[in-house]
Structure 1
Amino acid sequence: MLALGTFAVGTDAFVVAGVLPSIAASLHIGIAAAAQSVTVFCLAYAVLAPVLATLTGAWPRRRALLTGLLVLAAGNAATALAPSYGALLATRLPAAVGAALFTPAAAAAATTLTAPQHRARALSYVLVGLVSATALGVPAGTLLGGMISWRTTMWLSALLAALAAAALALWLPHVPQPPRIGLRTRLAPLGDRRVTALLATTVAISIGNYLFHTYIAVILSPVTGGDTTSLAVLLLVGGLAATAGVLVTAAWADRFGPRRVIAAVTGALAVCLVLAPAAISLGPAVAAVLMAACGFAAWSTTVPQQHRLIAAAPHSAPLAVALNAAAVYASAAMAGGTGGLVLDGFGPTALPWAAAGCVLLGLATSELAHRMTARPSRSQ
């Protein structure tokens, strides 16, 4: 049920990428400007998540979870009704508030409801909802937006959040109240250079990932020709591969170690991104293979990174995972703005190359974090 909530959050955060051309045409703005709605949402989430988790720390967990989902639903409904570009950006703020309140509370609830030896897996399952949203929520929203309008897509996002709230209200078991944690304590893992290096890895890889996926409708336009059904099919292929990648690489991380898995999938992702412009030019079948490969690799660092963070900060694992989620959303915000500059300055074919550069930087940072983890941290 918590994963259903993060599925609603993930759909809301990422579905806009599939309907950017529709938003731009409807509001008479450029695609890069429309993409800044993603930037506003993700930046607000990254800033507000630790603050709201602190301010609502004394709330019963059920109240925090339900409030987050209901505010998210209301924000999406307001986005669906936005009459102008300024109103569109403004309505992304309440949606971000709801998401920022729900996701850390869901992670904390997952760790509270499970035994210590199962907490890492429980966190992974909850946050997999964000990834699985790319498999079903984003393609469905893209198809619906093409058939009717992008506003219908936002109504779908609002409905998902409302359904998740109803499920939690009916079936969520009692969640013990966790100890209240101040903002300074919540940010304390940042004082460990190993955690900081791992979060830097998350940021670099995620910027590359979101540079590609935020502007995916534009990047794939040579093969889709602007047809939303073709785009939705390609997004579904990528999303299903992403979900499979998360599950498969979670097992690989246990067998081979998370650092080796991250090195392998980030290297593969960089290669896929470099080849993307050529692959897209070869037609739909090759583009589908590209989306499957990119989808599998792009999200496969999710669980291994969580395991590395938990190993680096075992006594503050939920806080480290929450910071990692905030880092992902901050990266998405930076990718939206950076991608807009790349798109305006160099065109859509430059976006995969820029993304590949960020992913390779993330690979280098990951290896640096491994060296730090191999030695005792000075802050310990």
Structure 2
Amino acid sequence: MDIRLIWLAVGTFAIGVESFAISSLLPQIADSTGVTLTQAGYLVIAFALANAFGAPVLAALTGTADRRRTLTLAALVFSVGALWASFSQGYFDLMAARVLMAFSAGLYTATAQATGVAISSVDHRARAISVIVGGTTMAVAFGAPLGALIGGLVGWRGAYLMVAAFGVIAAGSIWMLLPAGLRGAHLPLRQRIAAIGIPGVPVALLTTWLYMTGGFTVIIYIAALTTKSIGLPAALVPAVLLSFGIGAAIGNVVGGQLSDRLGSRQTIIGAIVLSAALMFGISGVVHLPVAVVGPVFFGLIFVWGFVAWAFLPPQSSHLLGLSPTNAPLVLSLNASALYLGIAAGSFVGGLVLQNASVNDLGWIGALFPVAALVLTVVAAPGRERLTGEMRLG
């Protein structure tokens, strides 16, 4: 494996740590900044929207720039944003810092994937993308629990200092290891957005959006769910995230393997069905005898992490199969759909907390993958190019 791909993945790891650890930090942030938990959730929405809409624009503007400089600068700006967040003075100051982080994160991820493809041979391009995306998976598995642990020990500001350090490490490594002069082709924003019109892509993007909306309705408020609904101590929130993360890391690998063996469509449908069932189950845990609530909750979270992350490799494989020659474009659009799902899930979760109870997060979140299932089944396979799909290794 090309060692440069590993260091590109360090940057996606840093971004992933911040994106997923914040779910455990929101109660602290709400208390520190004097806002409600729902208002603290708007920080997630701001980050996700800035990432979703900023990434295509910035990628178009920097498409022909030296990729080593672009990646290094993006990682450093991300670190500056994390430092700003750590020393922020109030809610809106913190939100501005996270918006800056989101812009740089979106640019970094899009450029890192394009760079991984550029420095890899044709028969290893999908594998290169999977390595870089794997940085996010590792962040879910280990970075988010680590951020939650540090947040519990020294506060949420300390967690942002850790994120800034990861960003600096990624920037230094990329500057030393990537060759200078590596540039991409100029792809205007109109051409990037036009990829939405590829047959089958709109349905796939809407499926990603619905799926992520449901999942993030729950996961963003996992700390509140763990403590207020399940009744576990706050000290166990990092363990809950670790359980989810380990399941996600395994599910990411198994999802790719199942996609190779069974086909992406079958794997996607299976992940959607199981994810919806597990989220319904999370809302039902509180009705079990007190003695088993904790163990069953941990078990459900582990299996949910496995199933939730098993969706992403076959979905990427499906999109690549729809248009292999436009791989960077369709994957970039899928990333935007993913972050729009994060924003929508945070918003829906906030509405649930305002108008219902924290225990309702699970079953309400489950409605979105149910809608994704209906969409996927109704979309006739004959109208999409389902053969010759490229598998992510």
Place the TM-score, normalised by the shorter chain, in its bin: over 0.9
- For 1:53, the aligned partner's letter is A
1:171 is aligned to: 177
Q: Over residues 306-341 of structure 1, what are the superposed CA-to-partner deviations in whole Å (9 max), with x where a residue is unaligned?
A: 111111111111110011111111111111112111
Instruction: Report SS of the residue matched to 2:47.
Output: helix
- For 1:285, the aligned partner's letter is P
Count of residues in Structure 1 that have an aligned counterpart in Structure 2: 376
- Deviation, 1:73, is 0.5
- 5+ long unaligned stretches in structure 2: 1-6, 388-393
2:304 is aligned to: 294
Q: Over residues 25-76 of structure 1, what are the superposed CA-to-partner deviations in whole Å (9 max), with x where a residue is unaligned?
A: 1112111111111110010000100000001112101011111111111111
User: Do 1:279 and 1:290's aligned partners in 2 also have CA atoms closer than 8 Å?
Assistant: no
TM-score of the pair, normalised by structure 2? 0.92
Candidates 325, 347, 350, aligned match of 1:337: 347
TM-aligned CA distance change 1:316 to 1:374, over 3 Å: closer
Greater mean deviation of Cα atoms: 53-62 or 161-170 = 161-170
- For 1:25, the aligned partner's letter is D
TM-aligned CA distance change 1:368 to 1:60, over 3 Å: farther
User: Do 2:228 and 2:358's aligned partners in 1 also have CA atoms closer than 8 Å?
Assistant: no
User: Do 1:65 and 1:102's aligned partners in 2 also have CA atoms closer than 8 Å?
Assistant: yes
1:98 is aligned to: 104
- The alignment status of 1:373 with 2:379, answered yes or no, reads no
User: Do 1:189 and 1:313's aligned partners in 2 also have CA atoms closer than 8 Å?
Assistant: no
1:180 is aligned to: 186
- The alignment status of 1:35 with 2:46, answered yes or no, reads no
- 5+ long unaligned stretches in structure 1: none
1:359 is aligned to: 369
TM-aligned CA distance change 1:374 to 1:322, over 3 Å: closer
Q: Over residues 106-127 of structure 1, what are the superposed CA-to-partner deviations in whole Å (9 max), with x where a residue is unaligned?
A: 1101111112222122212211
2-side partners of 1:247 and 1:171: how far apart?
Answer: 27
- Deviation, 1:370, is 5.4
- Deviation, 1:105, is 0.1
- For 2:92, the aligned partner's letter is G
2-side partners of 1:179 and 1:252: how far apart?
Answer: 34
Greater mean deviation of Cα atoms: 278-287 or 183-192 = 278-287
The percentage of aligned residue pairs carrying the same residue is: 32
Candidates 235, 244, 251, aligned match of 1:245: 251
TM-aligned CA distance change 1:68 to 1:360, over 3 Å: same
1:89 is aligned to: 95
Candidates 54, 57, 82, aligned match of 2:63: 57
2:119 is aligned to: 113
Candidates 271, 276, 279, aligned match of 2:282: 276
Instruction: Report SS of the residue matched to 1:165.
Output: helix
After TM superposition, what 4+ stretches of structure 1 lie above 6 angstroms from structure 2? Answer: none
User: Do 1:276 and 1:290's aligned partners in 2 also have CA atoms closer than 8 Å?
Assistant: yes
- Deviation, 1:277, is 2.3
User: Do 1:142 and 1:228's aligned partners in 2 also have CA atoms closer than 8 Å?
Assistant: no
Q: Over residues 138-164 of structure 1, what are the superposed CA-to-partner deviations in whole Å (9 max), with x where a residue is unaligned?
A: 111111111111111111111111111
User: Do 1:223 and 1:284's aligned partners in 2 also have CA atoms closer than 8 Å?
Assistant: no
- For 2:22, the aligned partner's letter is V
2-side partners of 1:370 and 1:189: how far apart?
Answer: 20
1:315 is aligned to: 325
2:28 is aligned to: 22
TM-aligned CA distance change 1:84 to 1:245, over 3 Å: same
- For 1:72, the aligned partner's letter is F
TM-aligned CA distance change 1:109 to 1:227, over 3 Å: same
